Structure 1
Amino acid sequence: MRTNALSTLSFWNTPRIGVARMQSDMAQANQEIVTGRYADVGLALGSRTGLAVGLRQKSAELAALRDSNNAASLRLGTSQAVLKQIQDGADATLTALTGVPEDKRAGVLKDMAANRLGTLTALLNTSAGGQYVFGGTRTAAAPMSTYATSPASPAKTAVDAAFRAAFGLSQDSAGVSAITEGDMAAFLDGPAFQGLFAEASWGTTWSAAGTAPLTNQISLSETVETSASANAPALRKLAMAYVMASELGSANLSAAAQGVLTTRVAGLLGEASKGLITLQADLGRSQAAIAAANTRLESQASLLDAQIMDMEGVDRAEAKTRVDRLSTQVQISYALTAQLRQLSLVNYL
């Protein structure tokens, strides 16, 4: 018969190994109490782990859509507020224009239109969330160039050159009194001046914006336009009206020529105001679509969260019971280890 040796060290190490395992189990149970889900989802679900991962990916996709919709809503809200300010300015200018006698309109409009033009440029350079809201697809750079600068901006240079080419003198020259009603009408309606506010020329002298608006996917199956561009026809018409009133309405013009000018300005202001209303309506439809999409996304996210919790969720009360039981076992193990350390031949000698 053979007897194996058993050392005191073996007695000491046996409880220590058990304590390490129990401490690991306690850490996992505490994690489950905090998170409400299995500490090791793969181990707990086995072959169903792939389904749980798929549900979480879909939930993350819905969360990304909601974040994108929030950014789009901020951009749309800012755009709406700016467009309302621009429209109010256009309507106020038109009211001022029609509220004074025809022979005094040019003088009243000149300074007002110059200020409105500067305000228009500043408003179209509004940014929100680090993006220029009227930049179209080019949101990183300010879309509009300032008209009144020194040296002269490309836009003003082009206007001055067109006027000089048509009449052989500058706008402030005393000789403009010789410009007839027909000459002024031909200039304002002709390609030389109108072309300055056509999209091609506008994009080189006035605006650095992209013409196409931004589009956002707002749900799993829906995409809408979520911005307006500074290149929109209504905004170009408004700028043309302000330039006409501030740059061409010299007091030296004949009354007939001034009458033609103010009539064209009034017409453009009216057209621009209608166009701005249309822009606001388009953005309003996008805002409504985003609000409806967010409601659907919230419902879908809630359903997915419930499915995920059914698969991965743990009973926190049961996990707490496990922690208490393991804590008690660890304390017993510590006490046993202390007692084993007392087992020494020295104590009996």
Structure 2
Amino acid sequence: MKASFVSSSAMQNVLRLTISQSQNKLQQASTEATTGTYADSGVSLGAGAAKSINLTSAIAQAASFKMSNAVVELRMNASQTALSSLKDAGDSLVSNLTALQASQDTTSIAVALQTASATISQLVSTANTSVNGEFLFGGTNLDSQPLSDQSSAVSDTIVSALNDYATGLGKDVSELTGEEIGSFITDTVEPMFSESAWTDASEGWSAASSTNMTSRISGSETITSSTNANSEGMRYLALASVVVSALFGQDLSSDAQSTVASKAIAYAAQATSGIVTQQSELGLAQERLEKANDALDAQSTLLQGNLVDLQGVDTYEASTLVNQLQTQLETAYTLVSKLQSLSLVNYL
């Protein structure tokens, strides 16, 4: 019978190799038990790894759209709030001017002048609203303040033109009829608030762009996501206010004052109508944004499900494997310890 020799050193080396392999497997199993996905998708999926990359990229793109859409939504919500305040200002101006038509006493005129001044201040302040350092009503010109208050200069121009107009008719300003003052407002004052005059680089009110912002809200859809200070609503609100502040300070006849009030009311009503139109356009864009976000959420959920199906592992099975490997490692450590303690000296 032939005797076989067993080396304790060789046994230790085998156990060390087993320990090293078990440690690697334990790390992989622990990762899979924790994350619920393969520790190394490339190795586990093979050719399917390309599909995994595509799914991950699509999910990241949907998340990116949701983040940018949140900024767009914030801007549009702030714009709606600002436009609502301008509409309220226009309604208040109409209310005060309507009262003035009924009674052209000193108090009513003073209230109308005060309301007109406050409306201009609110218009300029609101039009210059910014969010995250970008002006809401600048159109594509986000970095420059859209409006500057030119009411004083324009009022002076109107008063000067009114005196020339009356002189041309061979009258004093106080002798102008309602029809004559109406023609003056229509032919001389109103053109001062045309879009070209409003945006004139040297004397205009606005530095805004008339082109609105567009935003891509999904892979296939863009919306107009802003409005601008060159809109008819804002221009006519300024026109109504300046007509009041410039002309009610003059020595006009009762008939002329009534016409001024009527024209200002009409301009203010046109302004509020224009502002409501701006709100409606933004509202439609907000509705499309909401639907796009819903679609992105649904798309993301579907893609996440596909990715889990592709990369997912049974966490219970992975946890069981972790426990088994830990037991194996503990056993291997014990055996190595015992082998290291073996010595021929103990048998001499």
**TM-score normalised by L of structure 1:** 0.84
The answer to whether residue 83 in structure 2 is matched with residue 83 in structure 1 is yes
Render the CA deviation track for 1:159-213: whole Å, top value 9, x for unaligned: 42454355369xxxxx98447246644442235x434322233233322322222
Aligned to 1:113: 116
Query: 2:192 aligned with 1:189, yes or no?
Result: no
- Residue 273 of structure 1 deviates from its aligned partner by 1.3
- Which residue number in structure 2 is paired with residue 142 of structure 1? 145
Which amino acid is 2:308 matched to?
M
Q: How does 1:269-284 map to 2 (within 5 A)?
A: 269-284=268-283
Give 3-state SS (helix, strand or coil) of 1:136's partner: coil
Distance 1:10 1:22, change over 3 A: same
Pairing 1:188-207 to 2, within 5 Å after superposition: 188-191=185-188, 193-203=189-199, 204=201, 205-207=204-206
TM-score (norm 2): 0.84
Name segments (4+ residues, structure 1) moved above 4 Å: 5-14, 175-179, 345-349
Aligned length: 332
Amino acid at match of 2:81: A
**Contact conserved, 1:71 with 1:129, CA < 8 A, in 2?**
no
Between the aligned partners of 1:45 and 1:214, the Cα distance in structure 2 is 44
Shift of 1:38: 0.9
Q: Compute the displacement of 1:216 (Å).
A: 1.9
Tell me the SS of whatever aligns to 2:39. Answer: coil
1:102-123 deviation line (CA, Å, top 9, x unaligned): 5345433111110121112222
Are residues 19 and 264 of structure 1, via their aligned partners in 2, closer, same or farther at CA, if it must alter by over 3 Å?
A: same
Please identify, of 198-207 and 276-285, the stretch whose mean Cα deviation from structure 2 is larger: 198-207
Question: 1-side partners of 2:205 and 2:24: how far apart?
Answer: 68
Please state whether the residue corresponding to 1:209 is helix, strand or coil.
coil
Paired residue for 2:245? 246
> Is the counterpart of residue 224 in structure 1 residue 223 in structure 2?
yes
| Residue 337 in structure 1 maps to residue 340 in structure 2 | no
Q: Percent identity?
A: 32
Q: In the TM superposition, what whole-angstrom CA distance separates every residue of 1:2-39 from its partner, at most 9, and x where no partner exists?
A: xxx99876655543343333223222222222222111
What is the CA distance between 1:345 and its match in structure 2? Answer: 4.5
- Secondary structure class of the residue paired with 2:104: helix
Partners of 2:47 and 2:128 in 1: how far apart?
Answer: 55
CA displacement at 1:268 relative to structure 2: 0.3
Once the two structures are superposed, the pairs formed by residues 1-349 of structure 1 within 5 Å of their partners are 12-100=12-100, 101=102, 103-104=104-105, 106-145=109-148, 147=149, 156-161=152-157, 163-164=159-160, 167=163, 177-178=173-174, 180-181=176-177, 184-191=181-188, 193-203=189-199, 204=201, 205-348=204-347
